[in-house]
Amino acid sequence: MFKGILVEKDEAGYRATLRDLDEAQLPEGDVTIRVAYSTLNYKDGLAITGKGPVVRKFPLVPGIDLAGTVETSSHADYQAGDLVVLNGWGVGEGHWGGLAQKARLRGDWLVPLPTAFTPRQAMAIGTAGYTAMLCVLALERHGVTPDKGEILVTGAAGGVGSVAVAVLAKLGFTVVATTGRPEEADFLKHLGAAEVLDRALFSSPGKPLGKERWAGAIDVVGSHTLANVCAAMKYRGVVAACGLAGGMDFPASVAPFILRGVTLAGVDSVMCPRPERLVAWQRLGTDLDIAKLDLITSEIALAEAIPTAAKLLEGKVRGRVVVDVN
């Protein structure tokens, strides 16, 4: 038996509870893992609370991330004792995930734990941090360099945003952060933000084109915020869009794209091909300051993941949450 969070949906309603689970209940897979740590991402918040249609199969253990040790494996690349990390691939959505002491899944989905990190640090990064790195890679791929000008990061006090601020600052970019929490301004400056702006400046309907300011942007908010960010990009600026914390709509015009040559780069972490994952994790090893990661991270026990999920969706969680499942 092992402990895990189970999400169920039946005539009694949608609920997540901490349960004793039997190994026989684990889904099929060629690698069984003793989980050391998991995390809480925005998507886990949706899965646990049922506030978004994330869970596609019931009952399900949520948790889109895990780090742990291989217990048994019939996959050629992994053997008992190996330290591994998992992010995405639909785990915690359609396949049992990381918010439990054990997981069984496809070895093809795993990456070896990067040597730069402990399992806890890898989960402090988690999908949010790895997505932040994918966004930075997208900016780089489209030619954004520190000399081009300021980079805007929205939702900066959250998971993706806080890691993005820390990484961009270490890479020498001038970072401007937006937040709805003025009390987190010092935290964001400590991570490396040169300036902190009120997110309300971006959240109402705006003009198709505004004053050119940003050379690059990482947006986790979507909706009017993403539209306003696009409208304020410099000529040939690049926006990496990865989130919908403010809404899934995109009430924008084509003006920034056809008049200023702005690039909107979509970023998806779930199905991201393995070679790019490995690059992202390797770059996190060199471009994320561990001291800053510690500053971003708080730790909770497995049982606390349920109430913390609701707080995360209310925007009341700072940075990243690591879950000690044991």
Which residue in 131, 228, 263, 297 binds ligand NDP (CB under 6 A)? 131
Question: CB–CB of 153/174 below 8 Å?
Answer: no
Does the protein bind ligand NDP through residue 312 (CB under 6 A)? yes
Distance CA 255, CA 276 (A): 31
For the CA atoms of 57, 59, 63, 64, the dihedral, rounded to the nearest 10 degrees, stands at -20
Candidates 63, 98, 114, 155; binder of ligand NDP (CB under 6 A) is: 155
Buried b (16+ CB within 10 A) or exposed e, 232-261: bbbeebbbbbbbbbbeeeeebeeebeeebe
> Which residue's beta carbon is nearest to the bound ligand NDP?
158
Among 41, 101, 228, 263, binds ligand NDP (CB under 6 A): 41
- Find the distance separating the first CA and the last CA of the chain, reported in whole Å: 13
Contact flag: residue 42 with ligand NDP (CB under 6 A): yes
Helices (H), the chain: 42-49, 119-141, 159-170, 185-191, 223-231, 255-259, 274-287, 290-296, 305-313
Check binding of 267 to ligand NDP (CB under 6 A).
yes
Is residue 124 a contact residue for ligand NDP (CB under 6 A)? Answer: no
Q: Decide if residue 297 touches ligand NDP (CB under 6 A).
A: no
Q: Does 36 bind ligand NDP (CB under 6 A)?
A: no
Interface residue with ligand NDP, options 181, 189, 236, 311 (CB under 6 A): 181
195 vs 36: CA distance, rounded Å: 37
165 is an interface residue for ligand NDP by CB under 6 A: no
Residue showing tokens 């705006």: 206
Residue 245 binding ligand NDP, by CB under 6 A:
yes
Compose the 201-240 pattern: x for residues touching ligand NDP by CB under 6 A, - for all others: --x----------------xx---x---------------
The least CB distance from residue 133 to ligand NDP, in Å, is 11
288 binds ligand NDP (CB under 6 A): no
By CB under 6 A, residue 128 contacts ligand NDP = yes
d(Cα 304, Cα 5) in Å, to the nearest integer? Answer: 10
User: Which CB sits closer to ligand NDP, 54 or 113?
Assistant: 54
Instruction: State the amino acid at position 41 in one-letter form.
Output: N
In the bound state with ligand NDP, the residue whose beta carbon lies nearer, of 75 and 181, is 181
Name the one residue in this structure whose structure tokens are 């940003």: 214
Site size for ligand NDP (CB under 6 A): 33
CB-based burial label for 204 (10 Å; 0-12, 13-18, 19+): exposed
Contact 127, 242 (CB under 8 A): no
Binding site for ligand NDP (CB under 6 A): 41-43, 127-128, 131, 155-161, 179-181, 199, 203, 220-221, 225, 242-246, 267-270, 312, 315, 317
